[in-house]
Structure 1
Amino acid sequence: MRVTLAICCYNAEETIERTLLSARQLDWDDLEILVCDDLSTDRSAAIVQTVSQQDSRVRLVSHSNNKGNAGARNTLAREATGEILAFLDSDDENAPERLKVQIAKLLAAEERHAAPISVYCRRRVISDGKTRSLSAMGTAQPVGGDAVALHLLCDDPLPGDGRVGTCTMLTRVSTLRKFAFDEDFRRAVDREWAIRFALEGGLIVGCEESLVTQHLSLTDAKRARQNDARRQVVQKFRSYLQGKRSYLYALTIHRPGRMFTKGHRLLFKPVTALLSCFRKRA
């Protein structure tokens, strides 16, 4: 079975070679390593091209205009020659056994469920000199539908909680071609995709094993932009949330990034509590 490891790349000249080395060390015989360069302005594409001359499994596709993560991921799904695709970011690293573990999880889930399956894994996150471990959504049990949507939109409880970062995602190429990423989003792309996937019948499964190392740099400005993007996701699913009497509640959970000060949190706390009671009565 052929597998495509798909890497989105934008101005990653300092890290892309390390990421490609990690990809080339994956324990899988029939492997394509596909990189989409999203119109980088540095030497990223040239580095990938050089590596591809050393390893025929590596292939570069390039955008003529910058499309962001969603656009790059859609290009990777269209260009993939594998039956199964796993994503990786251009500054991250795989464990060599990643594909074997996640594919075993995918095949086992497909034996039990007729729904499309997306498999995530635990990741080790290195940020500001500190290391932490983030579990994958669906590790406790497969999850989908309203449970996933209301967890991501309203922070409702979900068995095992967990994350849905696309850098840890593995699924069938046919699934990605059916459920394309929304190119209107530059951030919170993972979250929007997971909500839509779950609401349209997909199931999310998680691996307990830590199979990806993510290198992350988050400034206050980046955090604010990320939260603004999550609010954009809430607005996209407005009709759905209104049907659940949860739209205003979701907006208080995902306030504009500039409002995440201690004072604003204290201001919104009673509002959030009131709207929570309204939801429960509904």
Structure 2
Amino acid sequence: MEKRRLGRSDISIAPIVFGGNVFGWTADSRTSCNLIDRFLDQGFNAIDTADVYSAWAPGNGGGESEEVLGDWIASRKRREDIVLMSKVGMWEQRKGLSEANIMAAVDDSLRRLGTDYLDVYFAHVDDKDTPLDETLGAFAKLVEAGKVRTLGASNYDAARLDAALDVAQQNNLPRYEVLQPNYNLHTRDGFEGELESVATERELGVVTYFSLASGFLTGKYTSKDDIAGTDREAMLEGYFDDRGQRVLDNLLEVANDVGAKPAQVALAWLVQRDGVTAPIASARSLDQLDETLGAATLNLSDEHMLKLDAAGG
């Protein structure tokens, strides 16, 4: 399996990252452990979670995804086989990027995960109330202590990411090596342009979230009529404007041309796009996971890439 380097770090990952947001939510511990096994057996290695996952599920409060991953680590004894990513800063119980919060949060995450280090630790959100040198100084202490191998930033805009990289350089601190933006075939403005330029020029890895636009790009729903009265209506109705319908129609055409599922094509577009290291994608069943991972070996032609680019541009 092809591996891609995360920024200037010594960590390389396969071109699809398993999204652990489903662990402890739509996939229980046993199912999640089986999914991780299959993921690794197919040659992939990076798993993304966060302290706040899966707080949104009924009866949950946060930390459940990390706990499920901890179950896998404890039962399989294969910690060294995975690149483990987690995050701090968004969860109400551990909100913000102050030094005190980061230090407490990482120990909580490590305890739930049953490991003594994270491969990548992300600032989940930009905390503008905390000076960048305080945040990066705290992360530096974690790297020095061996609790974290490398650092990432999620939900930063271009100016703040650039400033954070400057602060790290000026103070001889470990820098963010990975950016995690909301980016997919439909949602493009937030990354393309200034943020992408910063990531490219400063040699950051890019791991995208919402890679299938909350399910819009799976092809399960082909028009606004398909979601009427469903539990997905509120989440997806905004996608079905003229531009969104054009994106979806072109995605379905390309999928038909290449004999693949729409979700595979949408992920393959990200895998093949310059500047993207890997998309994050979730799965709740082994069949769904196998379908998702097929995107890594789906080779879209230049013509199909241009068709998809034009539809969403």
Q: Same fold (TM over 0.5)?
A: no
Normalising by structure 2, report the TM-score.
0.28
